[in-house]
Chain A
Amino acid sequence: MAKSNKPIIWGTFAAGGEVVSLITPVIIVLILFAAIGRPPSALGYEQLHAFAAWWFGKLVIFGIVFLSLWSQAHRLRITCFDFGLRADGLVATVFYVLAGAASLWLILILSSI
């Protein structure tokens, strides 16, 4: 059977698309509250740190950020193609390497909280 990375990439694209559509707008709203100087209590240092230190909180944060990274990396690759950047192999490599590096960074950050 031919091996292909498509199911993995597509899996994160589909799952990520769903998660991003459901949760990203409300997270942006929370950050916007902080940006106008009224951070909601969950964005306070103590609360957010406690949430990220809890195993379930880590899991939620990891799920959201990991899926966002990979689904948007895949979408940015397609967007580059649509805007006329036809070096798809190079573009794909750059975005997937960036997503991989960011995922590693995410794991390091979460394991240090």
Chain B
Amino acid sequence: MSRNPYVREVSPTTWFFRMPRYMRYMAREVTSIFIGIFTVIMLVGLARLSEGQVEYENFLAALRSPVSLVFLLLALAFALYNSFTWFNVAPKAMPIQVGEELMPDMVVAGSHYVLWVILSVFVLFWAGVF
């Protein structure tokens, strides 16, 4: 043991401002706040649905406030960022080996994107958006 061990000063609260890649990491972390709040909104909506038509219609009306609209737009932007970053790391998180080779990143990420588009279009169609 050296008598003066080297202590690297890293601020626990501002460390991520040092490098753009840390900032991108934190931007992804922040998406959990928006998706978490949105999950609670879904839960409240389901609760109102179970209480009856008037309560549910009131919930839908409450969604139309400016605060709600701004929040939903932000939540959509963060959710999209979360999806893109999640699919892009999928080849690293779930490497699929075929014979001697690993499946190319493009194939693993690409199949996620294809599934994502199909599922989203299906839900929009099922919900009667078009």
A contacts, CB < 8 Å to B: 14, 17-18, 20-37, 39-43, 45, 48-49, 52, 61, 64-65, 68-69, 72-73, 75-76, 78-79, 82-84, 86, 102, 105-106, 109-110, 112-113
For A21, list chain B residues within 8 Å (CB): 82-83, 86-87, 112, 116
Q: Are A20 and B35 in contact (CB under 8 A)?
A: yes
List the A residue with the shortest CB-CB distance to B115: A22
For A29, list chain B residues within 8 Å (CB): 76, 120, 124, 129
B contact residues, range: 35 or more
CA distance A105 to B43 in the complex (A): 8
**Chain A binding surface, main DSSP class:** helix
For chain B residues 71-113, which have a beta carbon within 8 Å of chain A?
Answer: 72-73, 75-76, 79-80, 82-83, 86-87, 93, 112
List the A residue with the shortest CB-CB distance to B123: A26
For B87, list chain A residues within 8 Å (CB): 21
Q: Are B68 and A20 in contact (CB under 8 A)?
A: no
User: What total of A-B pairs shows CB separation below 8 Å?
Assistant: 147
For chain B residues 17-60, which have a beta carbon within 8 Å of chain A?
Answer: 25-26, 29-30, 32-33, 35-36, 38-43, 45-47, 49-50, 53, 56-57, 60
List the B residue with the shortest CB-CB distance to A102: B43
Q: How far is the CB of A55 from chain B (nearest CB, A)?
A: 16
CA distance A49 to B53 in the complex (A): 9
Q: How far is the CB of B100 from chain A (nearest CB, A)?
A: 27
**Chain B binding surface, main DSSP class:** helix
CA distance A49 to B40 in the complex (A): 19
Q: Are B86 and A34 in contact (CB under 8 A)?
A: no
A113-B32 CB under 8 A given contacts A21-B116, A35-B64, A105-B43: no
Q: How far is the CB of A21 from chain B (nearest CB, A)?
A: 4
For A41, list chain B residues within 8 Å (CB): 127-128
For B86, list chain A residues within 8 Å (CB): 17-18, 20-21
For A26, list chain B residues within 8 Å (CB): 119-120, 123-124
A-B pairs, top 8 by smallest CB distance, nearest first, are A41-B128, A84-B13, A75-B32, A42-B127, A84-B12, A72-B36, A21-B86, A26-B120
List the A residue with the shortest CB-CB distance to B31: A75
